[in-house]
Amino acid sequence: MSQLPQIQSAEATGAAEARTETRRTLGAVPNSEAVRQKRRLTARGAMTRSRIVQAAAELFHVKGVNAVTLDDVRAASGTSKSQLYHHFADKDELVRAVIAFQTEAILTRDRQYLERMNSFRALQRWTDTIINLNAIQDGAYGCPLGTIASARAGTDSGARAMLEASFVEWVGVIAAGLRRMKENGSLQADADPDRLAVSLMAALQGGYLLAQTARDTTPMRIAIQMALDHINSYTLAPEKQL
């Protein structure tokens, strides 16, 4: 099985679980799972849970959520049925754990670029990184969160709420960078960082989908470049595109 750049180490799982309580208060995580999250895990139990989540995350991303069974996850993670069901009562709980895991992995990656972003060039470097990572597999697997949304948003309200919160947070990180550009004078006063961030995220997600179907990141690059051109039109000194 390929090792995908979005899949992080077990430490990312622990960080993701710290966010679960917040999502539970928003109604995104059912009470039964919240109870499980509050249980004190032994070091070995935590490692087992992380192994299950990481295996499920990669399988969901490569094969699609609906095509993967709990037996597939158990085999890929090298765990027994009793171990898997000790941590997850059903597939829905596991899907939500994977959403938290992938959200943390993506935000950890992107914050390295976006939290320091204060220029259009820095924004372009971030989008280039996203495209290049997707190109490693010829765009075959799409966005780790977007693919889950396509499979579960219409049938699992808890997963949909978590995904909504994840995308809001992701867009917020982009908007914060654009806001810094506005504050330092790189963007015009009439630029709306929040709306520009949403438009860029829409181009990113649409680009992921087109690249996945074409097995080619060229459509993704075009879609993102169009969104960047729109943002660049708000810079005080529009920068020539490479």
Q: What pLDDT does 198 receive?
A: 98
Cβ atoms within 10 A of the Cβ of 83, count? 17
pTM over 0.85: no
Beta bridge partners of 156: none
What pLDDT does 4 receive?
Answer: 41
pLDDT at res. 43:
87
The whole-number average pLDDT for the span 64-82 is 97
- Conformation bin of residue 240: beta by default, left when phi > 0, alpha when psi is -120 to 50: beta
- How far apart (Å, rounded) are the C-alpha atoms in residues 81 and 70? 9
Closest CA relative to residue 196, chosen from 219, 222, 226: 226
Task: Identify the residue with better confidence: 115 or 72.
Answer: 72
pLDDT band at residue 27 using 50, 70 and 90 as cut-offs = very low
Are 58 and 115 a contacting pair, CB within 8 Å? Answer: no
Handedness of CA 204, 210, 211, 216 (dihedral sign): negative
**C-alpha closest to that of 145 among 224, 239, 208, 210:** 208
Segment 2-7 shows an average pLDDT of 40
Could you say which architecture CATH assigns to the domain 10-232? Answer: Orthogonal Bundle (1.10)
Model confidence at 9, pLDDT cuts 50, 70, 90, reads: very low
Cβ neighbour number for residue 207 with a 10 Å cutoff? 28
